[in-house]
Amino acid sequence: MTANTPKDVQTPINMDALYQQLLDAVDVGIHVVNKNGESIIYNKKMMEIESMGSEDVLEKNLLDVFKFRDSQSSTLVQALTTGKSTKNAKQTYFNYKGKEITTINNSFPITEKGEITGAVEIARDVTQLEHVIKENVLNKRNTNFTFDKIIGDSEPMQTVIDEAKRATRTSSSVMIAGETGTGKELFAQSVHNGSARSSAPFISQNCAAIPDNLMESLLFGTKKGAFTGATDRPGLFEQADGGTLLLDEINSLDPSLQAKLLRVIQEKTIRRIGDLKDKKVDVRIIATINEDPVDAISGGQLRKDLFYRLSVVSLFVPPLRERTEDIDTLTRHFIEKYNNLFKMDVKGISSEVRQVLHEHDWPGNVRELEHTVEGAMNLILDEDTITIGNLPAKFRKKYQQEPGALPNNLLNLNDENQHSLKEKLTEAEKFYIQQALARNNHNISHTAKNLSISRQSLQYRMRRLGL
């Protein structure tokens, strides 16, 4: 590296530092091994691609750090041992932590006086694309929701269910709006499973999860050679042919892709990236959006023309706080679900819990309620009822700060167990002192003042009550 170092410049540049900076600035992974197969250069991008640190790799033998399948040896090792160069070779291997990596590589040997002294690999990452495609295959599981499994007797829920059921008779596009966790995915699956398309694929893709440049290949597919590493691969439209494609969070799709999507819906044909031919596809589109479509349009996240195309059938799933009648049924449903899953026998919720659940405004909607029940059932010990103490702090706090809200055992003056007046009063005393302490952030002076007793008296009582 020092052979070309200029010697007579005014401000000498440290060429080693410069090369290092260059290596770390480029957007391809660079990995160089010496003739023993030990790594001598391993740049920043390569660390990213392979999820490794330089200390994991440098000065170690390549084959001690990475595992290759028997069927596919390392292109870097090939360059080293046989002098063979490879171009645009797709390679899948594993780092020593077991993480799978897929790259497109150019590899070549370094020679000095006709002898191989090392090898270089220049790699581009395609793990992300591979991963996305695999996840999509996995996404095909668990798409068996049907209308009868959607819980909700409230009038607004029954209205949407009726509207959605009518949509099963056609192949028109459907737009489902609703806050996060309201059950949009359930509706989409139920429409598909209730339709004549039910035996064809239901494919769901979240538009927010994928970078724009990958999204286009993912939706429309690629033709071999369209870009480095591109193979003949069908996109989601082709995979969903005859069935339904759910595009989640459509407002996160890049506007230029929204325009392409619109064209596909109108012309019912797609063209793989890099291809010259169009292909006919028959796919029902269901799109979801978790904000008001009108706001999304005026905010520029949703193209108006696409919105009109998609909202032939337009469903709005109301937030849970606008259908509190459903809270009891949903709670019972989730208790049953987790009773089965956890092999438990929880019978229900206490009246305070019920009150708290009805008063909460559920920004996370049904998903939040489900998690609340699941969490409570993890905390419950021997009781067969979920009580306030089993709920997360956000619920408890609100309840405990409520003045005059006495614990259940205090309220119940007729309980069968004989308690002396003294015992009852001690419980009440403890409860009030705890409340006052919480209100005053555990400041002793303030709490004492608040309760009109002296500091010493408060401290004495706290010791006696074990607070």
Ligand X SMILES: Nc1ncnc2c1ncn2[C@@H]1O[C@H](COP(=O)(O)OP(=O)(O)OP(=O)(O)O)[C@@H](O)[C@H]1O
**Which of 118, 181, 229, 293 forms a contact with ligand X (CB under 6 A)?**
181
> Can residue 185 be called a binding residue for Mg ion (CB under 5 A)?
yes
User: Toward ligand X, which CB reaches closer, 234 or 364?
Assistant: 364
Nearer to Mg ion, 179 or 185 (CB): 185
Joined tokens for residue 220: 């429309």
Binding mask 3-32 for ligand X (x = CB under 6 A): ------------------------------
User: Among residue numbers 283 through 302, which ones bind ligand X (CB under 6 A)?
Assistant: 290
Task: Tell me how far the alpha carbon of residue 77 is from its chain's centroid.
Answer: 38
Residues that bind Mg ion (rule: CB under 5 A) add up to a total of 1
Considering the complex, what minimum distance in angstroms separates the CB of residue 370 from ligand X?
Answer: 5
Tokens standing for 288? 């979801």
Stretch that binds ligand X, among 173-181, 213-221, 295-303, 423-431 (CB under 6 A): 173-181
3-state secondary structure of 288: strand
Q: Under the criterion CB under 5 A, does residue 249 sit at the interface with Mg ion?
A: no
Give, as ranges, the residues between 307 and 366 that touch ligand X (CB under 6 A).
Answer: 366
Q: How many whole angstroms separate alpha carbon 368 and alpha carbon 370?
A: 5
- Distance CA(2)–CA(16), nearest Å, equals 8
Per-residue x/- mask for ligand X, residues 186 to 215, rule CB under 6 A?
x-----------------------------
- Of 157, 132, 147, which is closest to residue 235 (Cα–Cα)? 132
Candidates 176-184, 267-275, 386-394, 432-440 — which segment interacts with ligand X by CB under 6 A? Answer: 176-184
The span of 181-189, 237-245, 323-331, 406-414 binding Mg ion (CB under 5 A) equals 181-189
Residue 81 backbone dihedrals phi, psi, to 5 degrees = -85, -35
Q: Residues 360-389 vs ligand X: string with x where CB under 6 A?
A: ------xx--x-------------------
d(CA 259, CA 282): 19
**Which two structure tokens, joined as six digits, stand for 162?**
């009726």
**Which one of 43, 182, 193, 204 is in contact with ligand X (CB under 6 A)?**
182
Of 393, 426, 434, 394, give the one whose Cα is nearest residue 410. Answer: 426
- The sheet carrying 202-206 orders its strands as 202-206, 244-248, 284-289, 174-177, 313-316
Three-state secondary structure call for residue 120: strand
Regarding 152 and contact with ligand X (CB under 6 A), the answer is yes
Nearest to ligand X of 125, 185 (CB atom):
185
First-to-last C-alpha distance (Å) of the chain:
71
The stretches of 208-292 forming alpha helices (DSSP H) are 212-220, 236-239, 255-267
Does the footprint of Mg ion cover residue 179 (CB under 5 A)? no
Supply the DSSP symbol for 1: -
Question: Would you tell me which residues interact with ligand X (CB under 6 A)?
Answer: 150-152, 178, 180-186, 290, 366-367, 370
Question: Would you tell me which residues interact with Mg ion (CB under 5 A)?
Answer: 185
